[in-house]
Amino acid sequence: MADNKKLYQTLGIDPSASQQEIESAYQHLIAKYNQSDPEYDRLVQAYTVLSNMETRAMYDVTGKVRNRHTRSNPLNKEKKEKVRYTLNTLFLAGAAVTTILFILQWSGMSTTPFYCACVISILIKLSEYLIRLLP
C-alpha cells in the first residue's frame, strides 16, 4: 500500500472506512463550504475517488489519482474486445477438437495430435489473457 493518504485525511476518515462512512463524512464536510472555496474542490475530488471502489483501490495501491482527462481510446477497446472474442471462440473450437482427439486417443490412436491440440488451446487462452492486460 502506498503511504500517501491525503484523500482520506481530507475527508477525515480512516483508510479502512466503509462506503457509508465515506458518504457520511463527505455530506457532513461539504455542507460547511461554498462552491467557490478551494476546500470544496478538494472534498469533491476526495469523495469522487474514494466513493468508487475501482478508483479507491487504484489510489490505495499507487497513492495517485488518475487524471480525469486521460481516457482510453474507445476504438482500441472495441478492437481489443473483438480480438478477445475471436480468441475465445477459437479456444472453444480447440476444446471441442481436443475432446474428439482425446476420445480417439483413448480408443488406441496416436497421442501426438491430442497433445498438439492441447498445446494450441492453451496458447490461445494464454494470448487472450495477455490481451486483457493491455491498457
* Residue 104 belongs to some domain of the structure: yes
Same domain, 56 and 16: yes
pLDDT in tens, 3-50: 457 899 999 999 888 999 999 999 999 888 888 888 888 999 899 999
CATH code of the domain in which 29 resides: 1.10.287.110
* Residue 69 belongs to some domain of the structure: no
DSSP state of 64: -
Same domain, 79 and 129: yes
Q: List all residues 6 or more positions away from 120 whose beta carbon is below 8 Å from its beta carbon.
A: 94
Rounded to whole angstroms, the Cα distance separating 47 from 4 reads 16
Q: List all residues 6 or more positions away from 51 whose beta carbon is below 8 Å from its beta carbon.
A: 19, 22, 23, 26
Rounded to whole angstroms, the Cα distance separating 6 from 22 reads 14
pLDDT in tens, 41-80: 899 989 999 998 888 888 888 888 876 544 555 557 788 8
Rounded to whole angstroms, the Cα distance separating 108 from 126 reads 30
90 or 77: whose pLDDT is higher? 90
Length of the chain: 135
Alpha helix positions (H), the chain: 6-11, 19-30, 38-51, 53-62, 74-106, 112-133
Q: Into how many domains does the chain fold? A: 2
DSSP state of 3: S
* Residue 68 belongs to some domain of the structure: no
pTM of the full structure: 0.48
Task: With H, G, I as helix, E, B as strand and everything else as coil, classify residue 5.
Answer: coil
Structural domain range at position 104: 74-133
In contact, 30 and 40? CB cutoff 8 Å? yes
